[in-house]
Each structure stands twice: as C-alpha cells, then as structure tokens.
A and B are shown apart, each in its own frame.
Chain A
Amino acid sequence: MLKSKVLMVKTRSGKILKIVREHYLRDDIDNGLNGVDLDDHPMLENDLISSEHYIIPDTNVVLKQMDVLEHSCMRNVIILQTVMRETKHRSAPIYKRLRTITQNKDKKFHVFTNEHSIDTWCERRPKESSNDYNDRFIRVATQFYNECLSERNQKAVLLTNDKANCDLAKKEGLLAVTVEDYVRNIVGFPELLDKLAKADEAMEVDKSISYPEHLKLSQLQTGIKSGRFKQGKLNISRQNYLEGKVLPQGEGSKEILIQGRMHLNRAVNEDIVAVEMLPENQWSLPSDVILDVSVQPGAEISESHAEDLKKKHGIPTGKVVGIIKRSWRSYCGILESFGSPDMTRHLFTPAERRIPRIRIETRQAKLLIGQRIVVAIDSWPRFSKYPQGHFVKALGEIGDKDTENKVLLLEHDVAHEPFSQAVLNCLPSANWSIPDEELRKREDLRGLPICSVDPPGCTDIDDCLHLREWTDGNLEVGVHIADVTHFIRPGTALDIEARSRGTTVYLCDKRIDMVPELLSSNLCSLRDDGDRLAFSCIWVMNHNAEIISTRFCKSVIRSKASMTYAQAQMLIDDATQNDDVTIGLRGLNKLAKILKARRTLNGALSLSSPEVRFHVDSETHDPIDLETKKLRDTNSMVEEFMLLANCSVAEKIQKEFSDCAVLRRHPEPPKSNFDVLVNAARTRGLELSINTSRELALSLDEAEKPAENVHPYISVLLRILATRCMYQAVYFCSGLESDFRHYGLAAPIYTHFTSPIRRYSDIMVHRLLAASIGADSTFSDLLNKQEIQQICNNLNFRHRMAQYAQRASVALHTQMFFRGKMVDEQGFIIVVRKNAVQVLIPKYGLEGTVFLDRDHQGNAVGTSNLEYNEDACEIVANGVLLKVFDEVTVQISHDASNIQHQRINLHLMKPKIEGISAP
C-alpha cells in the first residue's frame, strides 16, 4: 500500500539547502466515482460534449471564474489537489470560497488527492517550470479519470483557458475546452454567461488613457528589498476617489500620499501596492476638495489644484509602480442608465465611493437598470480607463428598503443569512428549564431584589443589577450577566458561527443577531418572567463606593422587574415608592454618581456622538419621525456599574491567565490628531489642553461654561469632534501586548464582560472567568494566545463593520425620512474645507456637506470667489464669512434625481450667499 518516493526540493533561505522529503504514493485514494461524492450520472448538458461528463477545472479557471463555479448548475466537478494547492498559494479568499463549495454536499464537488495517488503521480522533468509541471499533473489526472470512466461511457472534461495546455491536452487525446466555450454551450442556463469573468484583454480600448505598465513581482521584490519601493495597503480617501494614502510596512514609516488617476495606476482601495516616491519638488498636499463620483464635471479639480499646491511644502508623495496583492471583492451598486439597454456593455457604479466604476458585459441590462446589483472585478487592462468585471447577482429594486438593507449588510460584510440547521441543532428546546443539577451547582440569588434597566423595546437583556444594605452598614452590589456560555459550548457549530459573526448588528429597523433568537431573546435574556442562569459579579462596598471585596459566581436569578430607563427614573424620583427594588435603585444611583465623579477625576472622557432614534411606522416600516437620544441619570447608572464590572473582571482574568486574557485597550492618540480641533476651538477663544486625557476632559468641561458669543452647543460639538480625533478601542490578547491602558476610560485595564448575548468577546471573557473560579473547564483554544489574537482581530474587524453598517442604516433612514420633504433647519459648521463646509444638524443628527463652488442646482460656479484661510478655519464666499462653529440655517432636501446615489442635499439659507444659496 505504501510506496516511497523521495522528492528533492531545493529551497533558498539565505543559502541553498537541499531538503529531502518523503512522498508516499498510495493506491487507496478515493476518486469519488463510487457514487458518494459525485453523481453516477452528471446531468449538466453541454452542446460541445455529447456524452455525460465530469468537469476538471485548472487553477486559473478556479481563480478567475469562481462565480461560475458557485452557480447551482455547476455540479460534479473534480477539484485536484494540485489546483487546491496552487489556489491556496495564489489567493486566500478564493481558496476559502473553494473550500466552502467542496464542503457543501449538494454541490457534488470532489477533491482528488492526485499528487499522492500512484496512478496520477508524475516525476518532474529536468528544466520543467513549475507551471508546466502543475499543468502536466492536471492532464495526467484527467487522463486517469478518462480511463476510469471509459467503461461507463462517460468523459472527464478539462476546463482550461491556457492555450498551450489546451493544445497539449488535445494532443494527448483529452477533451479540453475553454471556460467561455463551455459556458456558452451549457444547455438551460443562459444567465451563467454574465457571470463569466472577462479575459485580460480590454473590452474597449480607450485611446485617451494608457496607464504605465506594472512592474513584475520579482522586480518589485528586489525594489522593496533595496528600499527603492515601499510596500503597503492603499487606502483611498472617502472624500476623493482619486486620492489615496499608503502606510508602508515597518516601524516609524510615514504615510505616502498618492494623487491622481495615473499615479494610482489601476490600484483599487485596499490593494497591497508597491510605491515609488516622487522627487521632493513634486510632493503635494491632500486636497481639501471634496470630490464625489456623481458630479463628473468638477471631478478633475483635484489634479489642477494639486499643481499650485506643490510649490508649498508637501507631504511625501508617491506613485504606484506595481500591485503586490489585489484585494478585490464583489461590490454592490447599480448599472448606469445611459446608453441603449440593448447594448451589452455597460458601466457599473459601486455604492462604495472609494471604488472606481466598473465596465461589465451583460445581456440583461433592461432588467437590471433600476436594480441594485453585485459585480466582481476581473481585471484592469492598461488601455481601459475603468476596470472590467462581471455581473454576479441582482439584489432588488433601488430605493426598496429591503434591498437597501441588503446592500448595506453586504457592503459591510455582515453575515445575515438565517442560522444553518447545524447551528440550530445546538440549541436546547424552546421549553427548556433549569435542570436540578444546575440549580445545585449554582448560587441561588433568586431572593435578591434584582432588576434590569434597558432602552425601550429591548428584548436581549444581558445585564441586571441589585443592591442591598447589610446590617453592618456596608452595601452589597451585584451585576448579573446572562450566562450565555452555559448554552454556547466551545467548538460547536453555534460557537463557530457566533465567533465568525462576532457581534450583533443593530440597524434602525432590524437586528442581526449573533446567536439565534431563542437564546438572545428568551433563554439568555434576563427578563422578569422567571428564573435565569447568570454569571454574577458581587462587590461589597461602603457608602463611598469603595470596593471592600469582589467575588464572582455562577448563579440563578429571578429579575423582579425589567424596566426602561424612563421607568427606572420615575421610580427613583417617586418618593411614595419604597419597595426593595426602588430602594436598591436609589442606592445604586447614589453610588453611580460617586463612581462617575471619581472616574472623571481620573481623567475619563465623556464623549459624544450625534445619535438619533427613528420612530418607525408599524405598517410600512418607513421612518415617520425621529428624535435624538435622551440621556437620563439611569443611563449613566447602568453604565457605571457595567464599567466597574468590566474592570473587576479584567483584573481577575489578567491575574489568572496573564498570557491569554482577552482585554480591551484604547491607545492614546498622538497629539497631532488634535491639531484641527485645538485650532477650531481657538477661533472661539477656547483653549483646549490635550496633553493627557485628564486635561482634555477638564478643558472640555471648561468649555461648557457659558461665555459671551459662544453658543452653548459648541461644547457638544467639541466633544463630537474630540471623539473623532481618537483611535478606536480594540480587543487584544494580553500575552502579546504590553500596553493595556484604556485612554478614554482612563482605566489601567479593561475588558468586555457585560454583553455576552451580543458580543463574542464577552463570551471568551466569560469562559476565562469561569475557568478561573473553577466553574468550568479550560480547553486548548482558550489558552492559545495566537488563536485568541486571531479571534480578537476578527472581532475588531466585525465591530468596525457593524458600526459602519449602523451609520449607513441611519443615513438610509434619514434619506427616506426626507423623501419628498424640504425643511429648513438650524445647523453648525464643524469643518471648513477648501470648497465646502461640513454642517451638522443636531436635530436630526445629520451631517452633510454644503458646497460653496456650486449653485443650488448643483452646477459648478468655480472657486474664484472663494477665499480659504486654513489656520483660522474660515472661508469667505462672495464676501460672506463662514467660520467653524458658526450657526447656520440650511435647507434639507432629498435628491432623487440621480438614482445612482440618492442623497440628502444641503443648501445654505442663512447667511445668504449670492449665487450659492437657494433663492
């Protein structure tokens, strides 16, 4: 059964090594033809091939035509190990997709381990390139399948786009066709043609444009090694799609600016690129011009402006000389409507502003115009202004709420499919009740006056509180968190799904759960309708809110009341109420105030962001009204105790598992981040001190004091802007990082413990804490710091995406709210730019740009009448002075004229500027 062959592999790692590896060839490898993995009679018919056949794609086909392979009609495909190996080497995302298909039983994909099969192994010929060698592997395997299939009168068909390989295969008597030919002749699935990725030649040669050629990978590598080129991820500006920044790898490197179509040289957002620095006299500054795709006439402003900026001191500027790794994905967007719908070539505009338009070929244009569609980029030839792609799928009507929701979920990579059966199988039954043995193991806290305080309409309650006074005068305070880890056991399908989702995503009208609803809204949710399992953190405190002792335990609780913030506030204020719960709440409220004061003294920042709630029509689910979130004492009461619990837990798990605790830190932002803010505040005579978080907090408080000609809302604006100067807080594994500080909370150590229903990080923390008090066992992944860091990285990504999705959802609802309305509203200028001012409208939490180089109809009027003063944060337009923090009145209207990007338009009403303001 075993046959040994020795492979000689030469590798280079500084010096030349001869590495000898064993390579066993086997005769017992499953070829999938026994009816389990592959159907006995493949049904897919093709005009080119007369008999029943199985498909064997080569690596390039897999890499380029994944969308075709993912189509439901593509079944009975044999994937060779060679192809798997090469795919993995060349593209991680494609490899992941390929693995997902091969694991899907319905797709009938079979992976054949051809390089270990004695029938399909071949020795490398002298001087044969690895590509040729791999091709030969594939041909030999196809030949093998043909022999296996000959008695069944079936064939194996090699799909390859490589002409040489195709010819060789034909010479060897194999059936080889190109993907285009194959797909074109499939019977019954004409829509597959649209999904076909285009070959690398330009569909339309655009005479006007010819991008510089990309250097070869080997040239790039030597260039990077010698320091001539810098490698980094391209980050296109959200304001201007023709401008991007690259942060080169390595310590202490500075961002490199890349400006203009030619310098970007076909690099798309998030690609890993190699950049060559421009000579210093060509350095430039990021343009202050806001550029958006929908207004084409003004689109090239940046390039002309860049010219005169160069004379000033610029920042390091470079140009892209080659692409190291593409990170293209599928993009949502719409088909542009100009041109006849009968034509097959169309331009597609992605919803993401940082992505260029994409040229696609489709026969369904008539159908697709007016729909949101998904498109993937295939290539970007030198002589084509735009990249080329293919149609993947349609999502639905533009403007339809479900479609738009789908778009924003897809764009932010939020998994929103219903939970799979495997996941649902992990759930307990709906009428589950606490078994006796659990009751015996846990502390019984059902007698305590526990209650929960949450926003209205909250069904996933994960925290409860209680307070009671002991006879010795000390206070017992408890925070009780839903014991989700009792239900989500490590390694189950449910656990894996929750880990990959990472967080629950709250859209305005929808919640995308991290765990199935049975858990999130029923079994784990600490409602006041029965006994629940909880993980409790119980302190003994004195009346000065100083902690005397802390303990953690798994418990059973019975919430006495599930209240909203408003209800709780009413109870506290109502002097006639004197039951246990109310007394507890009053005590908690008192303690919370002390805690908060102490925290602020330590330098915790209270920041702000404009948040709004939509009142949604119960029938149509359209937003009918909106209000900004009100903050009550009870909000901050709950928050204080959650913070305290998180800090206590963080200390405990860090002490117990110093190598693998899951913590959360908030890095201190560099001082330069605050420059703009300090500058802006100074224009109003406010001095902000930013040296430490404490000083910042104090000076922000200082700004709250009423002063002459300072609008009281400015302090809120300052807080909003200060929030934007900071970094995001991130999860990390304590064994791999030395700086634990949380800047915003001014806490030396912090983690998330209090919301396990909606955050996976809390689940990990629960497990660690349970292990540290001996309530649960550890398992290997829990203690593997590399693994933990990887999960943390995913969580950080998911949280960021969830946040973006939330914002996008608010924006979408704001748009729908203003549909057909025109409102004048008070707003504040928060940023002054070269050709525009950004205005925040507190009532709607809406932020938008008022262009000063366009009239109210959106026609460009030129920038000649604008005088911009960067240091003073002001701009003079037609003799009218606009300063940062100025109060203005804007007209808000919904612009649906461009179905491409429906949007909110803002026009200045007061002060009135001739030629710009609306009449």
Chain B
Amino acid sequence: MAGLELISDQGYRIDGRKPTELRQIRCRLGVFTQADGSSYVEQGNTKVLASIYGPHEPSSNMRSKISHDKCIINCEYSQASFSSAERKHRPRGDRKSLDMAAHIKQTFESCIHTTLYPRSQIDIFLQILQSDGSNYCACVNAATLAIVDAGIAMKDYVCACSASLAKGTTLVDINHVEESAGCAELSAAVMPKLNKIVYSELNGRLHEDEIGKVLDSVVLGCNDMFAVMERTVREHVEETVSNFTHS
C-alpha cells in the first residue's frame, strides 16, 4: 500500500494512537464455568476467547505422546468465520491456524511447570471472535489469563506484544491496517518478572541495526500489557474472595 502514511508528521498513527500506545484492552477471567479456566481478551478490535481443560488424563488419541515426567500440552486455534472483513470458509485446520497453534503450544510448554503434572494433558482452546491484527499476541495473553484462572502453575505471566517500524519510529501493538501495509512485524512473548523472552517471530525484513530498537519497544509493550493483566487477575481474585466471604 504505497502512500499510506502509518504515522503523521504530528506523531499520530492512523487510528489516533501515539507510537508507543497499546490499543484499548479489556479482559475478564472465568467467563465459562464448564471449562477449568477461561478468559476473554479484547485488544482493540481483536477479540479472543480462551478456555483451558486440565490437567486431566490424556485422551485416547494422545496416548502415544504420554510422558512420564511432564504433561502434554494440546493447543487448538480457530478463527470464527465472521472474524474478518471477508468471511473465512475454513475456521480451523488451515495451515495458518495450525502454525499459530504450534507457536502458542511452544510458548506455553516453556512457561508452564509441566513437570508438576506428569502423565497428564492440558488443553488450550483459542477462538478468535474478531480479528484486527496481532492475533498471536492476543491469544497468548488470553491463554495466560485462562491458565491463571485454571490454577495451573506457571513460571511467570506470559505477555505478548507486536511492533512494526515506520519511518524510523516503532509502532507498538499494530492493528490490521498497519499489519497489511507491508512493514516488518516483530512479535514476542515475554515473561515480564523473570525478564525473559520466550518466543519471538519476525515477519518481513528488518535491518539488523533496527531489530534491537524494535525489540526494546516490544518488551516495553509487554510490560504495559502485564500491568493490565495483573490488575485484572487481582480484581478477579478480590471479587471471588468477596463472594466467598458473603456466602
């Protein structure tokens, strides 16, 4: 998209954000009671539902993968057919979805204390209800909250954020317009308290001199994300606790 100015001379992005601002985040824990843990995350117009089942006995088709010292993580990702401007014909099982599921699975295998749950399985189900860029990030954030809700032990929160580069400025938490403008996109998942990057992915080309700068702003974005997520968890716990005391 030539001529599309991702950032104006006055320093505003197309949707009115400043370069380092995240989109509006709304999240809730415990949206379903059927699942062991669940959450709903909105990052702007990207909306994700996550539900966790487990740890439970591995299902029959997973038998071959059972491990005696840690649990199996199973991740399924699907995108609702009404999630984007054009209707998707195949909500799950296409290459992109499988890739995405694999990436999310990898991310969480390194963050969950899998050794605490030997011979068991944890399912992560992710459903994109509306897609507006940075889907991976929203999924990771939602899954983290759902895992917290399920009470599964993790080393730390996992927070993800994406960034792009336009005219030498890094744009954090990019939306669909910015994503499709053809700039490089770097997404990373971070454990903010341990200060570790557990996953990073670069789409497109970035010059090596600039990667450091972009990565720094991604980490900053992740930290902002963490603040919101932690507050949500605390509020959720307070609310739950107050329910207990009243009853």
Q: Which residues of A contact B (CB under 8 A)?
A: 2, 4, 6, 17-26, 30, 81, 84, 88, 99, 102-103, 111, 113, 115-116, 777-780, 783
Contacts and interface: CB of A to CB of B under 8 A. Distances in A.
Contact of A116 (B3, B5, B16, B175): B16
Nearest to B14: A21
A99 B15 contact: no
Contacts of B86: 17
A780 B85 contact: no
Given A17-B85, A17-B86, A19-B85, A24 B17 contact: yes
A37 to B, nearest CB: 10
Contacts of B14: 21
B31 interface: no
A2 B12 CA distance: 13
A81 B206 CA distance: 30
B95 interface: no
B9 A22 contact: no
Contacts, number: 63
B9 A81 contact: no
B10 A22 contact: no
A18 B85 contact: yes
Interface in B191-210: 205-210
* Most central of B10, B44, B85, B209 by chain A CB within 10 Å: B10
Contact of B15 (A18, A24, A103, A779): A24
Nearest to A111: B10
B9 A20 contact: no
A4 B3 CA distance: 26
Nearest to A17: B85
Interface string B40-74: 00001100000000000000000000000000000
Interface of B: 3, 5, 8-10, 12, 14-17, 21, 23-24, 44-45, 85-86, 132, 175, 177, 205-210
Given A2-B24, A779-B209, A780-B206, A22 B85 contact: no
Nearest to B17: A24
B175 to A, nearest CB: 7
B118 to A, nearest CB: 45
B10 A20 contact: no
B207 A22 contact: no
Contacts of A4: 24, 44
B212 to A, nearest CB: 12
Nearest to A112: B10
Contacts of A17: 85-86
Contacts of A24: 15-17, 24
Contacts of B206: 780
Contact of B45 (A22, A81, A99): A22
A26 B207 CA distance: 33
Report, nearest first, the 10 A-B pairs whose CB atoms are least far apart: A780-B207, A116-B16, A24-B16, A17-B85, A22-B15, A22-B44, A4-B24, A19-B85, A113-B10, A113-B12
Main secondary structure of the interface of A (DSSP, over half): mixed
Nearest to B26: A4
Nearest to B13: A24
Nearest to A7: B15
A20 B133 CA distance: 12
B16 A21 contact: no
B9 A111 contact: yes
Contacts of A88: 3, 5
A116 B207 contact: no
A102 B15 contact: no
B10 to A, nearest CB: 5
Nearest to A92: B3
Contact of A783 (B3, B85, B177, B207): B207
Contact of B9 (A102, A116, A783): A102
B175 A22 contact: yes
A21 B24 contact: no
Contacts of B3: 88
Nearest to A115: B16
29 contacts: A2-B17, A2-B21, A4-B44, A6-B45, A17-B86, A18-B85, A19-B85, A20-B45, A20-B132, A21-B14, A21-B15, A22-B15, A22-B23, A22-B44, A22-B45, A23-B16, A24-B15, A24-B16, A25-B16, A30-B10, A81-B8, A81-B10, A102-B9, A103-B9, A111-B8, A113-B10, A116-B16, A780-B206, A780-B209
A22 B206 CA distance: 27
B22 to A, nearest CB: 9
B24 A779 contact: no
A19 B131 CA distance: 11
Given A103-B9, A780-B210, A23 B15 contact: yes
Nearest to B209: A779
A779 B9 contact: no
Nearest to A121: B16
Contacts of B209: 777, 779-780
A111 B205 CA distance: 33
A176 to B, nearest CB: 25
A81 B16 CA distance: 12
Contacts of A113: 8, 10, 12, 16
Nearest to B21: A2
A24 B22 CA distance: 11
A6 B24 CA distance: 12
A362 B16 CA distance: 45
A299 B10 CA distance: 53
A778 B207 contact: yes
A4 B17 CA distance: 11
Nearest to B3: A88
Nearest to B211: A780
Nearest to B177: A21
Contacts of B132: 20, 22
Given A26-B16, A102-B9, A778-B208, 9 more contacts: A2-B21, A19-B85, A20-B45, A20-B85, A20-B132, A23-B16, A103-B9, A113-B10, A778-B207
Contacts of B10: 30, 81, 111, 113
Contact of B207 (A2, A84, A102, A779): A779
Contacts of B85: 17-20
Nearest to A89: B3
B132 to A, nearest CB: 7
Contacts of A21: 14-15, 45, 175, 177
Contacts of A777: 209
A103 B205 CA distance: 30
Contacts of A20: 45, 85, 132
Contacts of A26: 16
A493 to B, nearest CB: 15
A619 B132 CA distance: 71
Nearest to B5: A88
A780 B177 CA distance: 23
A777 B209 CA distance: 9
A777 B12 CA distance: 32
A99 B23 contact: no
Pick from A6, A20, A24, A777 the residue with the most CB of B within 10 Å. Answer: A24
A807 to B, nearest CB: 34
Contacts of B208: 778
Nearest to A28: B18
A209 B22 CA distance: 61
A116 B10 CA distance: 12
A103 B15 CA distance: 23
A25 B17 CA distance: 9
A18 B83 CA distance: 12
A797 B177 CA distance: 33
B211 to A, nearest CB: 10
A317 to B, nearest CB: 34
A660 B22 CA distance: 35
Listed residue (A19, A30, A116) with the most chain B CB atoms within 10 angstroms of its CB: A116
Contacts of A778: 207-208
Contacts of A783: 205, 207
